[in-house]
Structure 1
Amino acid sequence: MRALIYRGAREVTVEQVPDPLIEGPGDAIVRITTTNICGSDLHMYEGRTNVEDGKILGHENMGIVEEIGIGVDRIKVGDRVSVPFNIACGTCRNCVAGWTSFCLRTNPAEGMDGAAYGYANMGPYAGGQAEFLRVPYADFNLLTLPPGKEHENDFTMLSDIFPTGWHGTELAGMRPGDTVAVFGAGPVGLLAAHSAMIRGAAEVLVVDKEPDRLALAGKIGATPVDFGRDDPVERIMEATGGQGADCGVEAVGYQAHDPTGEEHPELVLDNLIASVRSTGGIGVVGVYLPQDPGAATEQAKQGRIGFDYGTFFQKGQRMGTGQCPVKRYNHQLRDLILQGRANPSFLVSHEIGLDDAPEGYARFDRREDGWTKVLLRP
C-alpha cells in the first residue's frame, strides 16, 4: 500500500510499504477513506519530538472495515467506522473508568499510559495516512457510522479534534450561560468554540492572530480577538465588565509564541490565568511534552513551564489537562452531526490526495493563508 512516512524534520514522503495484517483475534483492517493532517502532526513534522524515522503518520482516521479477526463479533466487514486516535484495551482500570486516553495496556513504553496511531511516544502503532490501517481491540474502539458517504467531512472530525475541542470545555467546567475564552483558533480551538456554542455559552471569545482563522471564529458566532493588534487579556476583561471569562480553553500548546514569532511556552497559560475570573476553570488540550530539546529555554527543554502559578493559586482557579478520551464523547457528537446540531466540517479548507500530502504538510506548517484543515483521500 501507499503510506506517508516520516523521514526527518520537515521531510515526509509517500512510499510503498507492506499492507497491515491481522495480528490478533481482536484486530480489524480498515480501508481509509479520509485521514486528516492534525496540528499535532506538525510537532513531529518540525522535528520537535523523538518520532522514529520510518513511522507512518496519521491519527485522525475513518474508513470501511475490510477484514476482521476471529474474535471480533460486533464490528462487521463493510462497516463504515470512525477510528478514535486513542488505542484502548477496554478492560484496564483507566479504560473502565472512561479514561481510554490513558490505557494501561496498549503502550509498552516505560512511564507512558495511553497509545495512539502514528505518534511519537504513543506506542509502536502505524498511522492511518495510508491506504489501510490495523485497529487493535476493534470491537471496543471503533465507532460505527451510517453507510454511504453522508457527512464524510463532518464524521472525519470524530476521531480527534471535535471530541478534543469538546473535552477542553469539559475540563474547563463550562456551564450554560458561561463566557468562554478560547486561546488558539486552529482546528481544535475552533471546535472548542463550536462545542461551547452548542453547549449554551453566552459568549465565546477566540484569540489568534491569523485572519483566516479569526474569520472562521466569527462565522460560527464567536467573537474574534486578534492578539497581533490587541492585548487579549484587556479585550477579554473589557468584554466581561472587568470580571474575566467564566472559563477558558488552552488550544495552543508548548509552541506558543508572541506576535513577533518568539516562542514562549508559558504565554497562553499566563494569559488564561489573567483573563479567567477567580474560581474559574481552565481546560488545557494543547499539547505539552515532558522533554522538548528544541525549546527556547533550558527549563522548557526539560518540560518545566514557568507559568504564573502564584496568581493561579491566589485566584482559586482549576485546571484540567491531558489527551481526550475520544470514546467518552464520539457517539454523542456523531448524533449531534446527524441531527444537524453540529457541523465541524466548517473548518475544512483543503481536500487532497495522499500523493499530495508532503506539499500539504509544508503549506499547513507554514500557516499559509487559507490552509486551516487538510483532509487526505487515500
Structure 2
Amino acid sequence: MKALVYNGPRDVQVKEMPDAKIEKHTDVLVRITTTNICGSDLHMYEGRTGMEAGRILGHENMGEVIEVGKAVDRVKVGDMVCLPFNIGCGFCANCERGLSGYCLTVNPGSAGGAYGFAGMGPFSGGQAELLRVPYGDYNCLVLPEDAMEKENDYVMLSDILPTGYHATELAGVRAGESVVVYGAGPVGLMAATSAFIKGASEVFVVDMHKDRLALAEKIGAVAIDDTEGGGVKKILDLTGGQGADRGCECVGYQCCNMHGKEVPNLTMNNLVQSVKATGGIGVVGVFLPEDPGAADALAKEGKIAFDYGSFWFKGQHIANGQANVKAYNRSLCKLIHAGKTKPSMIISHELALDEAPAAYESFGKRADGWTKVILKPGK
C-alpha cells in the first residue's frame, strides 16, 4: 500500500509499505477514503518529538470497512466509519469511565494510544491506503447513510471537532456565557463552534493569522488580531474590564509572539489575564513532558513559567488534556447528520496522498491560506 512515512525532521515521503492487515480477532481493516493533516502532526514533522523514522503518520482517519476479525460483532464489511484518534480497549478502568484517551492497556507503561503518533504506542497511522483498527467494535464510529455525501464533515469527528468541544467542556462553558479562544487554527475554530453549540453569548478568537481570523468571523465569533500585541486589553475592553467567563487554549507549546518567537507560556498567561475572576480555562493545545528542540531551558524539560500567583488570586480553575473522542463523537455526528454544524467549512486544501509531502512543507511554514488539509488516498 502507499503510505506517508516519517524519515526524519521535515522529511516525509510517500512509499510502498506492507499492507495493513488483520492481526487479532478483534481488529477491523479499513480502506482509508479521507485522512487529515493535523497541527499535531507538525510537531513530529519538525522533529520536536521522539517520533521514530519509518513510522506511518496520520491520526485523523475515515474510510470503508473491508475486513473484520473473527471476534468483531457489531461492525460490518461495507460500513463507513470514522476512527477516533485515540485508541481504546473498551474494558479497562479508564475506558469504562469514558476516558478512552487514557486507555490503560493499548500502550503498556503509559496511559493512552493513538495512530501514527510519537509516544502513543506502535500503531501505524492512516495517511495511507489501509489502516488496521484495534478493538474495532469499540473504536469504529459507524456513520449514517449520508457518510459519502458529508465525508469531509464526518472525518472531523476523528479529532478536531471533539477536541474543540472538549476544550469547552474542560472550561465549563454554559449557555449565555462569554468565551475567549486562543488560536484560530482548526481546533480553535472548532472550539468556537462548540461554544456556540453550547449557547455562548459571545465568543472571542485571538490569533495573528488574518485568513484564520476571517473564518472565526464566519462562524460568528469576534476576531481579535494580536499581530501588534494588545489582545488581552481588547478582550478586557469588550468585557467591561472583567474578562471572559471561560477561556480555551488551542495552540500549545509552540505558540509564538508577534515577532514570531516561540514563547511556550504566552497563551496560558494571556488566558489568566483574559478570563474573569473565578472563570474556567480548558487547555487542549499540546504540551509535552520534554521538548529538546526548545530555545529555553525550562521548555526543554516541558515546563513553563506560569503566572500562578495571578491564577490563584483570581480563583480561576484549569482542566486540561487530550480529548476522549468517544465521549463526544456520537452526539456530534448527529449534529452533522442533522445539518446543525458543518466543520468542513475550515478545509483549505483537498489533495491526493501523493501530494502530502508538499502539503506538509507548506502547512509546516504556517503559510497563509493553509488552514486544514485533507488527503484522499484513492484520488
Q: Output the TM-score relative to the length of structure 1.
A: 0.99
Alignment of 1:291-302 (within 5 A): 291-302=290-301
Alpha-carbon distance in 1 for matches of 2:292, 2:233: 33
Alignment of 1:142-153 (within 5 A): 142-147=140-145, 149-153=148-152
Aligned match of 2:228: 229
Alignment of 1:280-295 (within 5 A): 280-295=279-294
Matched, 1:74 2:74: yes
Alpha-carbon distance in 1 for matches of 2:345, 2:229: 26
Q: SS at the partner of 2:333?
A: helix
Alpha-carbon distance in 2 for matches of 1:268, 1:229: 15
Alpha-carbon distance in 2 for matches of 1:69, 1:258: 50
Alpha-carbon distance in 2 for matches of 1:277, 1:12: 44
Aligned match of 1:269: 268
In structure 1, give the amino acid aligned to 2:57: L
How far residue 146 of structure 1 moved from its aligned partner, in angstroms, is 2.0
Matched, 1:312 2:311: yes
**Offset from partner CA, 1:266-306 (integer Å, 9 cap, x none):** 00000000110011000000000001001121111011111
8 A contact 2:229–2:258 mirrored in 1: no
Aligned match of 1:123: 121
Aligned match of 2:247: 248
Aligned match of 2:256: 257
8 A contact 2:162–2:332 mirrored in 1: yes
Aligned match of 1:177: 176
8 A contact 2:144–2:337 mirrored in 1: no
Aligned match of 1:361: 360
Alpha-carbon distance in 1 for matches of 2:203, 2:345: 17
8 A contact 1:264–1:296 mirrored in 2: no
Alignment of 1:6-25 (within 5 A): 6-25=6-25
Aligned match of 2:139: 141
8 A contact 2:245–2:279 mirrored in 1: yes
**Offset from partner CA, 1:145-178 (integer Å, 9 cap, x none):** 1245121110010000000000000000000011
Aligned match of 2:42: 42
In structure 2, give the amino acid aligned to 1:133: L
Alpha-carbon distance in 2 for matches of 1:27, 1:312: 46
Alpha-carbon distance in 1 for matches of 2:230, 2:364: 25
Alpha-carbon distance in 2 for matches of 1:304, 1:370: 32
Q: State, as a whole percentage, how many aligned pairs show the same letter.
A: 60
Q: Output the TM-score relative to the length of structure 2.
A: 0.98
Alpha-carbon distance in 1 for matches of 2:94, 2:144: 29
How far residue 230 of structure 1 moved from its aligned partner, in angstroms, is 4.3
How far residue 370 of structure 1 moved from its aligned partner, in angstroms, is 0.8
Alpha-carbon distance in 2 for matches of 1:304, 1:44: 19
8 A contact 1:158–1:333 mirrored in 2: yes
Aligned match of 1:194: 193
Matched, 1:238 2:237: yes
Alpha-carbon distance in 1 for matches of 2:341, 2:270: 29
How far residue 229 of structure 1 moved from its aligned partner, in angstroms, is 2.9
Q: SS at the partner of 1:233?
A: helix
Aligned match of 2:336: 337
Q: SS at the partner of 2:172?
A: coil
Q: SS at the partner of 2:107?
A: coil
In structure 2, give the amino acid aligned to 1:26: T
8 A contact 1:249–1:282 mirrored in 2: yes
